[in-house]
Structure 1
Amino acid sequence: MATAAMTFARPLSPSERWFWIIDQISPANCSGRVRLYGRLPLERLERAAAALVAEYPLLRVGVRDTAGGPRFGGLAESRLPVRRVVSADPEAWLRELDAEMVEGFEVGMGLARVVDVVRHPDTPAEQHDIILTISHVIVDGRSLVAALRKLIEFADPPAAVEGRGDAAVSPGRLPIPPSDELIPVGARGFWRYAYTTLYDQLAALALRPRRLRGTRPVPLGHRRTRIVHRVLEAEAVAGLTSDCRRAGVTVHGALAAAVARAVAERAGPEAAGVVGIGSPVDFRDALVPQPDRDELGIYAPVLSGFVRYGPGMSLWDMARSVNRQVARGVRQRRHLATVAGMRFGTPRSVKSGWRIVELIDRRAPWNVSVTNLGRVEFPDRVGEWELSGLLLAASNSCVSALTVAITTAHREMQFGFCYVDGMLTGREAEAFADRVLGELTARPDSLVEQVSAR
């Protein structure tokens, strides 16, 4: 089907160019996984992948490094490759997800791929772990999950019968401007960007926040991400939500506070201090015009937070601090100013980008972020299939040590502790994850612990 989107081409925006630069140094990928119970022939999943490509212009382009800078350009063959793995091992999907974090994209050849990990094929117990991976150059966590949901819906047998799973009749979307160009005028300008940058730097100088201390340094170009997976079951999620409501804090505040406590524990024996935590904030609603909720793109800039810990500081005290700082940053539109101002600070090339990346790696006030998508609109059933286990994972690339990615769907909360291999050992990352979930569940007034690793 010929659409205007098939000829889509433009320079990368400053925020896209930033992720392209760090991806050239170390992979910058986003992955989503969902478990599907039921029969799913490979050809049906491949048709759904073709329909997803027809839906989104950004899945029909690659990135070319030109004399004028990196540009999106149409691919000779627009396809979303699907790789199937059959294994009786219940942990095979997690190994495949680990591999997706490590394997970078040949960005000139495409920016997305699918892995289907199958257990018990051709039996009544057949199940699939569907993993969709897209380069961080064109997505954030929320838009990645939206694309994963559409992939499953396109694969639904009635959709295929009705033609909705057929790429040849998909109406597709027209390209929209990148988020950088949708920032409202009042949040733009060099001085707003300079104020936001200076604010974080002065706060860091005054507070001297602690970062996650790694076991050993890992060179930027050698950093690869691995994942520790944890699940908070339905009753424990309800207990956490209820406790947050009684304490007057958001669930994100409690999650970030628990992570900050675990970072502080690793930082050293000091009884009190400050931990730096990054909180991505979805800003779609603030853009003009507002993009569709299912649009692909980078719509979640990070706000820096400085969380105090020490004797007498409860989890709820720390959570309130997180909430106040995020609310103040949004009210001041610092997240908007940061993205709008990237045109002043984003390097033009990988060569010049190395120096900026090295500087950030040494001096950033935080190297841990908490990416909490909250309750995600993802169906429990599609057609005859039951769905569960919605999980998000993100490569740390070269400017972070740990990303804690959290989704709440299917009556459970899924955690992906995405850590730089070597900066933490596998055992240390497991212990860190258990420490965080212990903080969230082992409270005197909480429900019985229901934490599982599965």
Structure 2
Amino acid sequence: MTNQETHLPRPLDRGEAFFWLLDRASANNFVVIAEGEGPLPEAALKAALARAQSEHPLLTACITAHDDGQLYFEQGTDNPVALTIATAEADWRMQLAQLMVQPFALGETPLMRACRIDLGDASGWVFALVFHHSIADGRSASQLLLEILEHASGVDRPQRTRSSQPQMHAVFPPHLQGQAGEEHASELKQTKRLEFKALGKPDEFPAFSRIFGPTDPGLVSFHVATEQLTQIAERARQEKSSVNGAVGAAQLLALQAAFGDGAPKLLSQVHATDLRDTLVHPIDHSTPGAYVSMITSTQLVDGPASFWAVARGLTQDIRRQLQRGDGHQFFRLLPPPENFPPTPEGITAFADMIGKWPLSNMLSNAGRLPELHKAAKISLRHVSFALCPNPSVVVFCTASTYQGRLTVNINYEKHRLAEPVLRQIAATFEQQLQGCATL
């Protein structure tokens, strides 16, 4: 075993435990989605899923609660990945949204499910994997999705068992571990309080209701073509921003427009941030693992004329906070998981905490994904992912780029945000992003 490996059982770290608690308080599973065509028989999918379980350690793990309330990853049973075969209804995205929020029980193995939805045309389909967020993040799950599709479509590769990966917090830079890390977190907490006070409280979106209860998720999507995305990237470089900053700005301008009064708004955006490149040992995306954290940026949004100022502000602020250690310390700045035992009372206390967070919007960008192997007997149009927002998040938007095409998924909860309002936000979001290169 190398110093980058770990064995089961092992305790969930702060981030993994946070995702488990969040899923109990408000659905937090996520789904990775491939839209394609070509032969994808059920038997081949089952064989590819079984092979994935034999090669990736966390695909045979379960989560258990010990007597002291600590959550652990343990080796689970030999249950195969459940594969659902369905026919597309009026909107297959809504079918996937409903599958996404079905919870995983304590002790359940595996913490991943699969679904193939057959479309109306002769060979078109959607293939998706649903994950418990404690075992994967958007990029590592997307790479597994592509790997499974390759194996199911005739790509011949040698069997390769991956090593178990360590807890994220165990491979933080030395100054963010142990007592030094605690002292850094304490100083950072005070700094962030002063920053929050100076900025002021973000504006509350009047059309949003902070309610818990049964989850009724919704999902809408749009795409940006390769040529248009290239133009956005070039303009972003000129503006000292990034494509991610442009996507974030388009999202915030869409929210500001939905207020309906035309006034400037102070809006927060939480960015899911991949920390792999900042760890003391290299952790790649070749096997599922949760190595993401959250960084919040608050910007003054004042209509289309502010687009690139907002995009630049997001890009620079996120980079500044990442270098400062905000992403590494996010989970340490929260009350420890031990404060929320895996009981109804503990989950209620956790739900009360997140229900008091400032209202925000979320953006998670998986970046450019690898392409399917040329030997595969299928073709893919789009690869993306989706996650339902919690009660303090108006919309959870995700972005993925496959073969130069960008897919944006806008995820919402119908009890909290009415569909007509969401459709207005989605239309403005797409309009702002598609047109930003010529602003």
1:35/1:349 CA distance change after superposition, 3 Å: same
SS in 2 for 1:265: helix
For 1:176, what is the secondary structure of its paired residue? coil
Task: Find the counterpart in structure 2 of residue 391 from structure 1.
Answer: 384
Q: SS at the partner of 1:301?
A: strand
1:449 maps to: none
Flag the 1:374–1:436 CA change in 2: closer, same or farther, 3 A.
Answer: same
Aligned twin of 1:258: 250
From 162, 179, 186, give the equivalent of 2:168: 179
- Alpha-carbon displacement from aligned partner over 1:198-239 (angstroms, at most 9, x marks no partner): 333332333224356253525324344321111122332222
Q: Aligned partners of 2:423, 2:385: CA distance in 1, in Å?
A: 17
Give the partner amino acid of 1:156: S
Which residue of the partner structure matches residue 98 of structure 1?
A: 97
1:414-444 superposed Cα distances (whole Å, 9 cap, x missing partner): 1110112222112211110111111122358
What TM-score do you get using the length of structure 2 for normalisation?
0.89
Check conservation: 2:65, 2:71, Cα contact below 8 A.
Answer: yes
- Which residue is 1:132 aligned to? 129
Amino acid at match of 1:115: C
> How many residue pairs get matched?
428
Partner of 1:36: 36
Deviation at 1:22, TM superposition (A): 1.5
Once residues 238 and 183 of structure 1 are traced to their aligned partners in structure 2, the CA distance between those partners, rounded to angstroms, is 34
CA contact (8 A) 1:281 1:300 kept: yes
Aligned twin of 2:311? 319
Could you tell me how far 1:118 is from its partner in structure 2?
Answer: 1.6
Name the counterpart of 2:86. 85
| Partner of residue 367 from structure 1, selected from 353, 356, 360 | 360
SS at match of 1:369: strand
Residue 451 of structure 1: aligned partner: none
2:200 to 199, 204, 208: 208
Q: 1:273-288, aligned counterparts within 5 Å?
A: 273-288=265-280
Residue of structure 2 equivalent to 1:72? 73
Judge conservation of contact 1:27–1:224 (CA < 8 Å) in 2. Answer: no
Q: 3-state SS of the aligned residue for 1:406?
A: strand
Matches within 5 A, 1:54-453: 54-68=54-68, 69-87=70-88, 91-110=90-109, 111-119=111-119, 125-159=122-156, 164=158, 170-188=159-177, 189-211=181-203, 213=205, 215=207, 217-267=209-259, 269=261, 271-310=263-302, 314-339=306-331, 344=336, 347-350=339-342, 351-364=345-358, 366-379=359-372, 381-443=374-436, 445=438
Give 1:10 deviation, angstroms. 1.8
Distance 1:212 1:271 in 2: 13
Give secondary structure in 2 for the equivalent of 1:281: strand
Identity %: 19
Please give the alpha-carbon distance, in whole angstroms, between the structure 1 residues aligned to 2:348 and 2:127.
Answer: 35
Q: Report SS of the residue matched to 2:166.
A: coil
| Counterpart Cα distance in 2 of 1:444 and 1:14 | 40
Partners of 2:247 and 2:46 lie apart in 1 by 37
1:262 is displaced (CA, Å) by 1.9
**Could you tell me whether the CA contact under 8 Å between 1:156 and 1:383 is conserved in 2?**
yes
Question: 2-side partners of 1:390 and 1:344: how far apart?
Answer: 35
What secondary structure does 1:280 align onto?
strand
Code of the aligned partner of 2:47: R
* Distance in 2 separating the partners of 1:174 and 1:193: 31
User: Which amino acid in structure 1 is aligned with residue 176 of structure 2?
Assistant: A
| 1:18 and 1:347 in contact (8 A); partners too | no
Tell me, what secondary structure is at the counterpart of 1:143?
A: helix
The ranges of structure 1 where at least 4 consecutive aligned residues each deviate by more than 6 angstroms after the TM superposition are none
Offset at residue 176 of structure 1 (A):
1.9
Aligned-partner SS, 1:363:
coil
**Unaligned stretches of 5+ residues in structure 2:** none
The one-letter code sitting in structure 2 at the alignment partner of 1:286 is T
On the 8 A contact 1:34/1:387 being kept in 2, the answer is yes
SS of structure 1 residue aligned to 2:298: strand
Distance (Å, rounded) in 2 between the aligned partners of 1:422 and 1:136: 23
Q: Distance in 1 between matches of 2:335 and 2:357?
A: 21
What is aligned with 1:167? none
Take 1:348 and 1:356, find their aligned partners in 2: how far apart are those partners? 6
Q: 1:422–1:202: structure 2 CA closer, same or farther, 3 Å change rule?
A: farther
- TM-score when normalising by structure 1: 0.86
* Paired position in structure 2 for 1:452: none
What's the Cα RMSD here? 2.6
- Aligned 8 A contact 2:258 2:421 in 1: no
Q: What letter is aligned with 2:108?
A: M
Counterpart Cα distance in 2 of 1:221 and 1:66: 27
Look up the equivalent residue of 1:57 and give its one-letter code.
Answer: P
Shift of 1:120: 5.8
